């Protein structure tokens, strides 16, 4: 496992079309995170994307380092589990499943499970009057006042926000990975400089070829 075992990395939410992403509440004994974004396709497509957890969940946030080891049974008491040679883990248990509408999981994710906390992860699929589809996610975590969950909140937000962004991209494109970053100004300048140098080189070769052709003595006519 990667980031679940070490300190959470605070990651910026960066996904097109996001309309809502925030830490709604953060106090010592609990926090509430929420995210929402429009997605392409209908509710049936959104549901199929949501329950295909191995296809969009980041391997960086698994115990085994491989998302393909994850599974989710979208039914009451269904397991959101991870199994690999030499180990297994329960990430959560399904509390309620309403296909194409809502999925609720009892899930103290990652290192939260060892602190005897309660976490409820809820996904909603909303269909607007115009037929457009919207995915929403809420994560509520509670513990004792000594849990210091207000300090955990922004870190969990980074990790869960990344997962939600991956789900949205997977529903929209079939690929959860972010698009390549745009080239930096330094990269652009370097490419422009290389192009200019290559143009100069070609011009120099052409000029040299002309000079060589001009300096070459004319061919002698054959004797008759």
Q: Which residues touch 6 (CB under 8 Å, ≥6 apart)?
A: none
Is the pLDDT at 109 greater than 60? The verdict is yes
Is the pLDDT at 9 greater than 50? The verdict is no
pLDDT at 17: 43
Nearest partner of 58 among 162, 168, 170, judged by Cα:
162
Buried b (16+ CB within 10 A) or exposed e, 136-161: bbbbbbbbeeebebeebbebbbbbbb
Residue 45, both tokens: 């497509």
Rounded to 5°, the CA angle 62-66-68 comes to 110
Nearest partner of 34 among 95, 149, 96, 124, judged by Cα:
124
Pairing of strands 20-27, 70-72: unpaired
Report d(CA 109, CA 93) in Å as an integer. 11
- For the entire predicted model, the pTM comes to 0.73
How close are the terminal C-alpha atoms of the chain, in Å?
Answer: 89
Judge whether 133 and 46 are in contact, CB under 8 Å. Answer: yes
| pLDDT top residue among 34 and 10 | 34
DSSP letter, residue 210: H
Computed over every residue of the chain, the mean pLDDT equals: 85
**Helix (H) / strand (E) containing 134:** strand 133-142
- Burial tier of 114 (Cβ tally within 10 Å: 0-12, 13-18, 19+): exposed
pLDDT at 18: 46
Question: How many other CB atoms are there within 10 angstroms of residue 54's CB atom?
Answer: 15
Report d(CA 120, CA 106) in Å as an integer. 5
Task: Render pLDDT for 20-34 as a digit per residue (tens, 0 to 9).
Answer: 567 888 898 999 999
Is the pLDDT at 154 greater than 50? The verdict is yes
| Reported confidence tier of residue 206, pLDDT bands at 50, 70, 90 | confident
Q: Which residues touch 89 (CB under 8 Å, ≥6 apart)?
A: 63, 81, 82, 83
- Tell me the DSSP string of 12-69: ----TT--EEEEEEEETTEEEEEEEEEESS-HHHHHHHHH-HHHHS-GGGSSSS-GGG
Q: Comparing 85-99, 103-117, 120-134, which segment has the lowest mean pLDDT? A: 103-117
């Amino acid at each position: 496992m990667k980031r679940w075992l070490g300190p959470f990395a605070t990651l910026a939410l960066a996904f097109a079309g996001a309309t809502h992403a925030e830490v709604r509440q953060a106090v010592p004994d609990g926090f509430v995170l929420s995210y929402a974004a429009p997605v392409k396709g209908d509710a049936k497509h959104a549901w199929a994307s949501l329950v295909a957890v191995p296809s969009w969940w980041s391997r960086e946030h698994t115990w085994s380092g491989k998302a393909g080891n994850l599974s989710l049974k979208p039914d009451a008491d269904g397991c959101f589990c991870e199994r690999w040679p030499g180990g297994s883990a329960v990430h959560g248990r399904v509390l309620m499943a309403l296909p194409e509408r809502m999925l609720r999981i009892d899930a103290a994710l990652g290192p939260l499970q060892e602190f005897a906390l309660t976490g409820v992860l809820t996904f909603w699929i909303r269909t607007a009057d115009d037929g457009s589809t919207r995915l929403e996610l809420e994560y509520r975590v509670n513990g004792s006042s000594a849990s210091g969950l207000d300090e955990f909140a922004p870190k969990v937000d980074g990790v869960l926000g990344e997962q939600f962004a991956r789900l949205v991209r997977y529903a929209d494109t079939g690929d959860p990975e972010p698009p390549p970053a745009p080239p930096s100004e330094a990269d652009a300048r370097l490419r422009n400089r290389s192009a200019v140098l290559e143009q100069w080189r070609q011009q120099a070769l052409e000029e040299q070829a002309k000079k060589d052709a001009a300096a070459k003595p004319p061919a002698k006519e054959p004797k008759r």
